[in-house]
Amino acid sequence: MTQTATIKFEKYQAATDADLQARIIAAKAELGSRLVILGHHYQQEGVYRHADFTGDSLKLSRAAAASNAEFIVFLGVHFMAEVADILSRPDQVAILPDMAAGCSMADMANLAKVERCRRELAAHYDFDTVFTPVTYINSAADLKAFCGEHGGIVCTSSNAGRIAEWAFSQREKILFFPDQHLGRWTGHKMGIPLEQMVVWDPDMPLGGLTKQQIDDAKILLWKGHCSVHQMFRGSDITKFRAENPEGRVIAHPECNFEVCSLSDEVGSTETILKTVSASPPGSHWLVGTELNLVNRLAEQMKPEGKSVQFMSSIVCECSTMARIDPQHLAWTLENLVEGNMVNRVHVSPQETTMAKLALDRMLENS
């Protein structure tokens, strides 16, 4: 692109929503087929409506890579834009409208802590023959690269069970990060007793575990979680069932074990959408996942007489996802129109090679 003076973000802060929406539409039209906008399910409606593709992070990245677009603008968080960059072609660039849109769960397992974990385990075991590292896709690119380098793999909330089976076919134990709850529910569904899934605390020597606990464990669960999904409680489900005896409950596997155990269905965002959409007219659902998705689903189901209720009485959306707002999207697109590329997310070639190896293993085995 031919660089011109970057348009300053400050000029967008005082704009009205109507003005921002009109400018986004105009800039998107001017960029045409050079642009593809990806919208994650948890995004606010003010930007989600402009997405060319909607879905979960992996589905979106694969759709973008298959497109002819030059610019991939991800309405999501940083690790999602990294995945888009890893899977995209060399002639494509991934852009995140606000670089501060991170993921608190992903931040709970950084490379330095995971490398320290590996060193501590390596003092007692041959790490690369005993442990298969498995990282949830909700993690930084360098952790995906770590898994690629050490014979590991990436998983999503929808394929975690199949990936865990593959991981156990390679080695006797799994090191699962960064979300302990997805790892625990996955192991439970495989029939692994809870006592054989122990939590590794990266801030304590040997993860706060004894050598015997690690010997006896099948899965080491990283002490990480999604703050949004931790707001849901078993008491929310108990109350709902008392008031709606015929109601159904569905939760995301990032929820705690009690919530998952009490739910009728547990599944990814795509599974939640498909399950509720396929249910009979008049169904009443309690849904345990991010507020924007639940509100959008509730509106979509109204014509069929279905009731969709957010699981918690506390109203809370993903605060980092919410940083991608109409102001940042308008600023990003109008800069592209002017020949300025702002907030490019670029994974180094070395990390891309190793991370893609872990992602390819996932795609081959799911």
Query: How high is the pLDDT of residue 315?
Result: 72
For 188, 219, 249, 279, 358, the CA distances from 185, given in Å and listed in that order, are 5, 11, 16, 24, 22
Which stretch of DSSP H or E encloses residue 344?
A: strand 344-345
Are 157 and 180 part of one and the same domain? yes
Are 217 and 235 part of one and the same domain? no
CATH code for the domain in which residue 111 is found: 3.40.50.10800
Are 272 and 173 part of one and the same domain? no
Domain boundary (210, 226, 242) is at 226
Residue type, 303: P
Domain span holding position 199 = 106-226
Q: Using CA atoms, how far apart are residues 161 and 263, in angstroms rounded to an integer?
A: 18
Q: Using CA atoms, how far apart are residues 288 and 157, in angstroms rounded to an integer?
A: 14
Q: Read off φ and ψ for residue 356, nearest 5 degrees.
A: -65, -35
Strands 93-95 and 219-222: unpaired
Are 14 and 66 part of one and the same domain? yes
Do residues 315 and 295 touch, judged by C-beta distance below 8 A? no
Query: How high is the pLDDT of residue 3?
Result: 53
Query: How high is the pLDDT of residue 344?
Result: 97
Are 203 and 119 part of one and the same domain? yes
Query: How high is the pLDDT of residue 33?
Result: 96
Are 120 and 178 part of one and the same domain? yes
Which of 347, 331, 318 has the alpha carbon at shortest distance from 14?
331
Which stretch of DSSP H or E encloses residue 266?
A: strand 265-266
Cα maximum dimension of the chain: 63
Residue type, 341: M
Are 189 and 118 part of one and the same domain? yes
Q: Encode the chain (366 residues) as per-residue pLDDT tens digits.
A: 645 568 889 989 999 999 999 999 999 999 999 999 999 999 999 999 999 999 988 899 999 989 999 999 999 999 999 999 999 999 999 999 999 999 999 999 999 999 999 999 999 999 999 999 999 999 999 999 999 999 999 999 999 999 999 999 999 999 999 999 999 999 999 999 999 999 999 999 999 999 999 999 999 999 999 999 999 999 999 999 999 999 999 999 999 999 999 999 999 999 999 999 999 999 999 999 999 999 999 999 999 999 999 999 887 678 788 899 999 999 999 999 999 999 999 999 999 999 999 999 999 998
Dihedral angle at the C-alpha atoms of 206, 255, 63, 72, nearest 10 degrees?
-70
Q: Tell me how far the alpha carbon of residue 48 is from its chain's centroid.
A: 16
Would 297 be classed as within a structural domain?
A: yes
Query: How high is the pLDDT of residue 320?
Result: 82
Would 359 be classed as within a structural domain?
A: no
Are 220 and 240 part of one and the same domain? no
Are 75 and 122 part of one and the same domain? no
Would 355 be classed as within a structural domain?
A: no
User: Domains in the chain: how many in total?
Assistant: 3
Q: Read off φ and ψ for residue 200, nearest 5 degrees.
A: -95, 115
Would 196 be classed as within a structural domain?
A: yes
What angle in degrees, to the nearest 10, is found between the helix axes of 349-365 and 160-170? 100
Are 176 and 205 part of one and the same domain? yes
